[in-house]
Structures are given as C-alpha cells and as structure tokens.
Structure 1
Amino acid sequence: MTRPPLRIAAAAAHFTRDLAFDLDRIGVIVAHARDAGVDVLALPDGALGGYVTDLRPDDLDEVDLPPALEPNGEAVRSVIDLAADMVVCLGYCERGPGGELYNAAVALCGDGILGRHRKVHQPVGVAKLFTPGCGFTAFDTPVGRMGMLIDHDKTFPESARALALDGATTIACLSAWPTSLTNRAPRMAQDRQARLFDLYDQSRAAENQVLWLSANQSGRSGNLHFLGRAKVVGPGGEILARTWSKGGLAVAEVDPDAMVDAARSVLHHLDERRPSAYS
C-alpha cells in the first residue's frame, strides 16, 4: 500500500544538565513540529541531559558527564507521552546494566519504544568515557523502516551502509557536533567542522540513496560551541530544508517510497555493490 506524503523534521537546539528544562524544551519543539504537521522528528544527541563539555579533557576524573539515564526510565517515558502519534528520535547518556555508560539514542512514539542505538565510533577525547555500541540495526516504524546514528558514526561510510542494507530508507543522525577545537574559523560557515558536518550528511544520503535527518545541538556548553546546521537531505544528496547556527526546525514534505525508488531506478547503489572485491 502506498503511504501518503510525510513531513519530516530535524531540530537544532540547545540542551543542558537540567532534565526538567530539557523536557520543557522538547515539549516546545514537539508542539511546534506538530503545528507544522510533522510525522517524524529528529532531536539532537544529548537532548536529555546535554553532552560532555570538553572533547580534550586534561583529567578524565573531572569530566562533567551528562546524567546517566535508565533506558526505560522516567525521562524517556516522559518523551513517549509528549510524542503521541509522532515518531521522535533523541539522544542521551544511558546507564548499562553493569554501570557502564553509553552514548545512546532512542526512537519512540506514543505506543512506546520503536528502536535503539548505541554510538559505535567514539572520538578520541571521549573514548574512555563511553562504552562503544556493537552494531547498526534498522527498525520498523509507523512511517517506514528507519535507522539511527550518533554524530561521529556518520564519519564512517560503513555505518549508514549497514543501516541501508538492513532496509532503512530514512536515517536519523543525532549529533552534538562542535566547531573545530584546533583551528577555529572567524565565521562558523568557514569552520572546518561545519564543512565536514554538511559533507558527511550529503555524502551518506547520496551513497545509500536514503532520506537523511541531521539534528544537532546549538549554542555553547563548556569549551564546545555547537554548529546547529540541522537539515533534511534527499536520496540524491540534495538539501531539502535546513537551519543555520541558531536553534530551529528544518522541515520537508517527502514521499519516502517514491523518492527512494526514483533515486534507485537507474543507478541502484546497494544492488551494484561488489562485496567480494572489498576484502
């Protein structure tokens, strides 16, 4: 059965250690998205509890870590109540069963949890703080099969490819991606990390011929100045909607099945792969 067109959105927004503040902000963003008719909303990494405040800490014992939340705890359940019939993806710091910490993401709607992801690729500065996840798995939602990545994951083409091969036609990448720490440009648009952030979004969408939702934190947290630059990218790598450095919603109306089928109608990248040549 052909699905009707959808409105999908990615948010740029600032989140903090104050969970009550974050839940209020999520509620406001969800309300704005609902007013815009949004069916799928991607929120940034650290939407519950914020992200770390430094990627190059001098002393790991003194790192200001986000609150470690239970995967089915009160904070996550609160977002389920807010989401209602909308599919919402967001990131947070998850406490594992042995007390280990994961940089984690969850996709949910009013019916409950739809999918989860634990960040696999950890930047060197925080690699000792978080336990890496162990894979990439797509999941079914009321609006089609989706997958999730968390910021540094999108640097690696294999991450998005694994989700596409698992049937995801929409991928949400949730980030807390800052400007360059080593060579900060005078204007954010000229920053090396801003260029890479956009490049990875468009490349991963085009390589896999999928719809791509890129959400990111905005504002400042400790030594980090987040880029914002949320966007929706089509399966040809074209930017369908975007924000800039400040908070906001990038909203696009799409027909996922038709757009992906059209992109793959002549050149079908997944079918044209030659795995035997890659080893």
Structure 2
Amino acid sequence: MTDTAHSGPRPATSPLRVAAVQSDPQVGLENKEINVVATLDQIRRAAADGARLVVLPELASTGYSFDTRQEAYAHAETVPDGPTCTRWAELARELDVYIVAGIAEEEGVRLYDTAVLIGPEGFIGKYRKTHLWNREKLIFTPGSDYPVFETRIGRIGLLICWDIWFPEVARILTAQGADLICSVNNWVWTPPPLFDEAGNCMASYLTMSASHVNGVPIVAANRVGEERGGKFLGCSLITGVNGWPTAGTADAEKEETLYADLDVVATRSAVVWSDLNDLPRDRRTDLYDPLLGYTGGRPAVR
C-alpha cells in the first residue's frame, strides 16, 4: 500500500528546539544561591531564543569539587521536593519548557550525583549516575538503573559525564526506546593530548560515536572554568541522529549556549540505513552476552 497522503517531503513529526547550556557553577555554600539564580537566568534566555528543552551541566546548582562528604551533604537536597527542583519546576511551568539539570541529591544517609527531568507538568523523573569518576566514589552512592521517560515531546533518556565512556549506557537507553539522550557533564582536563588536530576532545568523539551507532540525538552540556585546582573542558555539543554535531562544538573555556532544531522522533526510523544495513537487526547479542560475562560466561583474558 502506498502512502498517498504524504507524496512530498514529510514535515517533522516532533520538531523541537533544544539548548545545551555551558556554564561555570562554583562549589561552596556561599556560591549556591548564585549558581541557582544563574541556572534560572540561563533557562529564561534559552526559552526566549525558542528552546523548548534546556540541558544544564552536571551538578549545575552546586559546583563539583566537594572536599568532604560533610561538605557534599551541606550542598545536597532532596529530589524533587527540595528548593532548587521546586524553583526549576515553577520556571518550567511558567515558560512551558523542559529542563534537564544536574544536582547533588540527598536521600537519607545516601548522596547521589543526579540528573533531573522537569517539564511544564512538574517533576518527571531522575537518573542517578551509575559510573562514578575518581573521587566521586568517595562521596556518592552509584545509581542502579537506566530509566527512559515518556514525555509530550518524546522519550528521553539521561546520562551523566563518565557514563559516555561506557557504550552500554547509550545502547540500553536506545534499546528501551529513547528518542533523545540528554547528557549532563563535568568533563575535566586530562593529561595531554587533550585535543586532536581538528580541535576535538575525546569526550566529543565518544558522544558523536554513541549518537551515531545508536541513531539517537544527544544533547551534551558540559561546564567550563576552574575550581579548587581542577579545570573543566567545555566542548558541549548537540548531535543529530547521524552522530554529527548540528551546531558545532562549544569553546573549551567560554560560557555559551548551543541550539539545534531536532525532529525528536526521527530516531524511530533513522537506525535503518538500507535494506541490508539495519543496526538493531545486525547486532549479535547471542555472542555478546557470554563473551562479555553478562550472563555468566567467561570474559576474554586481557
């Protein structure tokens, strides 16, 4: 049967303008209110420029470099009832936007490095970082699942920073039907070479690769600046379903916001390249599970 209703170019089914905010939050209780107010201003500016989905960095409301667990507890809040999530929810309702942002979450005696998804209808869900980087292991408890959230703009998955080095994360989110992945980050400067001759860093390539092999757009927001001797990498980007950046890559040292216009649900058909090249169909999961040790098989010796 031919689709005579759409003989010409098809319009975007779920057009969405997205924003990746690259900012410089600073740790310290004296900075927390400054950080939160900055996020509200950044969301307002992005919405004024037409963004319906605004993605902020990891730990956007607190800064990153906690010296002690006690200090992290002092910065942390409950989710979603804490004051920062409440203010984000009020603004999302006012502006009719969706917000993804990183926050230090407290639940009882546990601390989590968390990303929240908030929309005009209020709090939608959260993801707790599962792969903890370096000293994060001394502060936070790792999360234990990879939720995908149904929203009016599409199905949204979340990941945080170091997660992008583990290809299973984006694969699991996509296998669960994610139309779009939001990546909140605090990518740091690492030993050289940090950039290649094209000016790209490894985190950018990993984001592009995860997007390409899964046929899913990724909105990756990183931070910049220095904090307690550490330096952050910038290089935020937004990819299309083909994995290439749609708006270039952000500067390594400047605060800025990237924008892109996406057809969010294009992910649902973009994975099929041709009659004989279909990434989901071509996967050999019968081999992967035992070889990788996921189902009790013996992993290869390194």
TM-score, normalised by the number of residues in structure 2: 0.82
Aligned partner of 2:33 among 20, 26, 30 = 20
Aligned partner of 2:233 among 227, 234, 240 = 227
Instruction: Quote the residue 1:115 is aligned against.
Output: 125
8 Å Cα contact 1:52/1:63 also seen in 2: no
Deviation at 1:184, TM superposition (A): 4.8
8 Å Cα contact 2:21/2:256 also seen in 1: yes
Q: Across the two proteins, how many residue pairs are aligned to each other?
A: 267
Say whether 1:36 aligns with 2:49: yes
Question: Which amino acid letter does the alignment assign opposite residue 221 of structure 2?
Answer: A
Task: State the Cα RMSD in Å.
Answer: 2.3
Say whether 1:240 aligns with 2:259: no
* Cα deviations by residue, 1:15-72 (Å, 9 ceiling, x for unpaired): 123232122111211111112111111100011111125xxxxxx7588537111112
Instruction: Choose 257-266 or 77-86, whichever is displaced more.
Output: 257-266
Where do 5+ consecutive residues of structure 2 fail to align? 1-10, 291-302
Instruction: Quote the residue 1:257 is aligned against.
Output: 265
Question: Which amino acid letter does the alignment assign opposite residue 134 of structure 1?
Answer: S
Check 1:141–1:107 CA distance in 2 against 1; reply closer, same or farther (3 A cut): same
Instruction: Quote the residue 1:56 is aligned against.
Output: none
Say whether 1:92 aligns with 2:103: yes
> 2:115, 2:136 → 1: CA distance?
17
Structure number with larger C-alpha Rg: 2
Instruction: Quote the residue 1:138 is aligned against.
Output: 148
SS at 1:128 equivalent:
helix
TM-score, normalised by the number of residues in structure 1: 0.88
> 1:39, 1:259 → 2: CA distance?
18
Deviation at 1:168, TM superposition (A): 0.3
Question: Which amino acid letter does the alignment assign opposite residue 212 of structure 2?
Answer: A
Question: Aligned runs of 1:28-177 on 2, under 5 Å?
Answer: 28-52=41-65, 61=68, 65=72, 67-72=75-80, 73-84=82-93, 85-97=96-108, 99-177=109-187
Instruction: Quote the residue 2:17 is aligned against.
Output: 7
Deviation at 1:263, TM superposition (A): 4.4
Question: Aligned runs of 1:156-235 on 2, under 5 Å?
Answer: 156-180=166-190, 183-184=191-192, 189=195, 195-235=201-241
Where do 5+ consecutive residues of structure 1 fail to align? 54-59
RCO (CA 8 Å, sep 6+): is it higher in 1 or 2? 1
* Cα deviations by residue, 1:213-260 (Å, 9 ceiling, x for unpaired): 100111111121111111101121111013212111110111122365
> 2:251, 2:166 → 1: CA distance?
24
8 Å Cα contact 2:215/2:270 also seen in 1: no
8 Å Cα contact 2:92/2:122 also seen in 1: no
* Cα deviations by residue, 1:115-171 (Å, 9 ceiling, x for unpaired): 210000112332121100001111111210010001011110001111001110100
> 2:204, 2:12 → 1: CA distance?
31
Check 1:264–1:114 CA distance in 2 against 1; reply closer, same or farther (3 A cut): farther
8 Å Cα contact 1:100/1:130 also seen in 2: yes
8 Å Cα contact 1:211/1:260 also seen in 2: no
8 Å Cα contact 1:23/1:79 also seen in 2: no
SS at 2:279 equivalent:
coil
> 2:270, 2:176 → 1: CA distance?
19
* Cα deviations by residue, 1:80-103 (Å, 9 ceiling, x for unpaired): 112231111000111123x11111
User: Aligned residues: percent identity?
Assistant: 26
Check 1:76–1:238 CA distance in 2 against 1; reply closer, same or farther (3 A cut): same
> 2:171, 2:91 → 1: CA distance?
31
Question: Which amino acid letter does the alignment assign opposite residue 201 of structure 1?
Answer: T
Question: Which amino acid letter does the alignment assign opposite residue 101 of structure 1?
Answer: L
> 1:96, 1:258 → 2: CA distance?
37
SS at 2:281 equivalent:
coil
Check 1:166–1:224 CA distance in 2 against 1; reply closer, same or farther (3 A cut): same
